[in-house]
Amino acid sequence: MTLISNIKGPFYGQPVVLIPNKLYFACYDHAHFPTSDEHCVYIPIQDYTHYDPFYDDFGPYNLAVLYRFVKALDVLLKSREKRKVVCCSTSDERDRVNGGYLMAGFMIFIAGYTAEKAYSLVASAQPPTFIGFRDASIGPPIYLLNLNDIIKSLEKAVKLKWFDFTSFDPDEYEHYERVENGDFNWIIPGKILSFCGPHNKSYIEDEYPYHAPETYFEYFREKNISSIVRLNKKLYRASRFTDAGFEHHDLFFIDGSTPSDDIVEKFINIVDNAKGGVAVHCKAGLGRTGTLIACWMMKEYKLTAAVCMAWLRVCRPGSVIGPQQPFLIDRQQFCWNLKKRSSSPVKYRTKTGDIGTRVSTTTSSPKITPKHVSTATSTSTPPTTRQTRSSRTPNKFDETAINEFGKSQGDRLLERKAQQQHHSSSNVIIPSPIPASSTRSNNNNNNPAIRYTSATTPIKQLKVSATKRMPAIMSRTPATNGAATRTLYPINNNNHHHHHTATTTTGSSSNTTLSSSKKSNGNIPVG
């Protein structure tokens, strides 16, 4: 008997043995998944995951989606279930690579594998070759992240203590990433937070609730954030933050563009010399914000640009856009060299005012070559390219352009994010200040055990009942206390790349159930 005996085909690509006689990964043409039997349990991955695209981006799934799936799978494997568990993906190229990402995440977080070993396992599903992950730009991709780089970012996050699977709180993550609850995410817990740019006052426009600076004060103080860095034009007075005791720095450069080396160095000095955490924003907190954060990550940890971009997108999907991607590739060595010069950094302080100049967006970009085209049908056009790092080709889409409605890249991204998150929501309320969770201790640099990890776009429209008070600036339902049973219900849909609604009851993460009301394998009880 072979290791894949009793696992039903026909397969699309190659079935993968992750844990012999226990866990497998297999792809099936057009979602024709086998029915569970006495030998195997078949888990349709796309029923338990969701990604809200800005445009044609499709992943990787954010940190909370990754955590919930891995946690549920771990509980299932530790239950009394004796059958082989087969995690199934459709033949859609986007589904396959996201499925490989989830499986590798399980092997790193639960099985303790290295990124190299985890990738070698999931890579055995090829051919067809896994496609790369594209950015959230409106035009065709000019650079794609390889699955291997995404997996490496997960390994680095564990090693550098940015992510702890045993203490990560997906409810907190999904709460604060929502536009009505502040739209912010920790990238480096306790050190760097990415958030949407505040406005002069709190108001709603194009379904997006903008927040005044005061909205963030309570949370920032409790989490020991000492410095604010603004990268976009002035939409509020810096004194709103400085009068409240925060340092405030302006490093302006054009929306959708790349920073000068001078701005990169000034940003790195700000982060290195901050007394506490640093909260960084541009207009949407995605492109310019992610680009400078990646520069600091490369300098501080000597990570590759690709790994930095990968972790940023796991934490905050949509980060680093268009020409900012090849810019980071080209500035990788420059940022690494800054580490050698920063042993005795000079304290950098700014006064309120714009710093920096417009940066050319004609930076060369990675070559795009044809790849295997997905066989699955979708109204969202999948990427038809595969990354080659060594050569470049220009992109005709100008990410700095203002459209006919006067919207910049950041404006468009904010509008898209609000539309995706609020597709099935209503009654948006003007926000009040964001308090930090009352059950978390105050963050300080002397307590490395306290970490706050975040990312973006939850499993569509979660309805949560938390085991602790989850403060919200726009809470629609009162928080509750007391243990509850978490059940991970599938997102029942015909095309999971678009809008759908899932409901979950959350509480003790040790009681997690994968169940399906539509698939023929029925419920999979855990416990």
| Each residue's pLDDT tens digit, 437-465 | 433 334 444 443 333 233 333 322 322 22
Q: Are 294 and 192 in contact (CB under 8 A)?
A: no
Give the tokens for residue 81.
């279930």
Write out pLDDT tens, residues 23-36: 999 999 876 788 88
Q: Is 282 a catalytic residue?
A: yes
Contacts of 341 (CB under 8 A, 6+ apart): none
CA distance 10 to 324: 42
Contacts of 153 (CB under 8 A, 6+ apart): 307, 308, 310, 311, 314
Predicted pLDDT of residue 110: 96
Predicted pLDDT of residue 390: 30
Do β-strands 277-281 and 192-195 pair in parallel, antiparallel, or remain unpaired? parallel
Task: Evaluate if residue 112 carries a pLDDT over 70.
Answer: yes
Task: Evaluate if residue 254 carries a pLDDT over 50.
Answer: yes
Q: Are 399 and 137 in contact (CB under 8 A)?
A: yes
DSSP code at position 459: S
CA distance 248 to 292: 16
Task: Evaluate if residue 504 carries a pLDDT over 50.
Answer: no
Q: Taking residues 76-105, report their average pLDDT.
A: 91
Predicted pLDDT of residue 139: 85
Give the tokens for residue 337.
């060299």
Task: Evaluate if residue 422 carries a pLDDT over 70.
Answer: no
> Does a cis peptide bond (omega within 30 degrees of 0) precede residue 259?
no
CA distance 482 to 317: 32
Predicted pLDDT of residue 164: 96
Predicted pLDDT of residue 454: 33
Taking CA atoms, 515 is separated from 17, 25, 502, 521, in Å, by 23, 18, 12, 9
Backbone phi, then psi, for 90, in 5-degree steps? -75, 175
| Nearest CA among 475, 434, 454 for reference residue 184 | 454
Look up the pTM and report it: 0.72
Judged by DSSP in three states, 17 sits in: strand
User: Strands, E, within 146-255: which ranges?
Assistant: 184-188, 192-195, 203-205, 208-210, 225-230, 247-250
Q: Which helix (H) or strand (E) holds 392?
A: strand 385-392
Judged by DSSP in three states, 298 sits in: helix
Backbone phi, then psi, for 170, in 5-degree steps? -70, -30
- The answer to which of 196-205, 310-319, 398-407, 455-464 has the lowest mean pLDDT is 455-464
Judged by DSSP in three states, 215 sits in: helix
Write out pLDDT tens, residues 255-306: 888 999 999 999 999 999 999 999 999 988 999 999 999 999 999 999 999 9
Give the tokens for residue 118.
């985890």
222 Cα distance to chain centroid: 24
| DSSP notation for 23-52 | EEEEEEGGG-PPPP-SSEEEEEGGGS----
Write out pLDDT tens, residues 116-171: 999 999 999 988 999 999 999 888 999 999 999 999 999 999 999 999 999 999 99
Predicted pLDDT of residue 356: 25
192-195: strand order across its sheet: 184-188, 192-195, 277-281, 225-230, 247-250
Predicted pLDDT of residue 253: 87
User: Strands, E, within 68-215: which ranges?
Assistant: 84-90, 184-188, 192-195, 203-205, 208-210
Predicted pLDDT of residue 184: 93
Task: Evaluate if residue 327 carries a pLDDT over 80.
Answer: yes
For the chain, domains (ranges, CATH) are 16-130 (3.90.190.10), 162-303+315-360+399-421 (3.90.190.10)
Alpha-carbon torsion, ordered 54, 144, 108, 509, to 10 deg: 0
Taking CA atoms, 232 is separated from 135, 257, 259, 412, 480, in Å, by 21, 11, 12, 15, 38
Give the tokens for residue 525.
């009880």
Cα first-last separation, the chain: 30
Q: Taking residues 402-431, report their average pLDDT.
A: 49
CA distance 498 to 516: 19
Contacts of 119 (CB under 8 A, 6+ apart): 104, 147, 148, 151, 152
Q: Point out the catalytic residue in the list 40, 88, 282, 335.
A: 282
Beta bridge partners of 229: 249, 280
Alpha-carbon torsion, ordered 249, 250, 256, 258, to 10 deg: -80
Give the tokens for residue 165.
């699977």
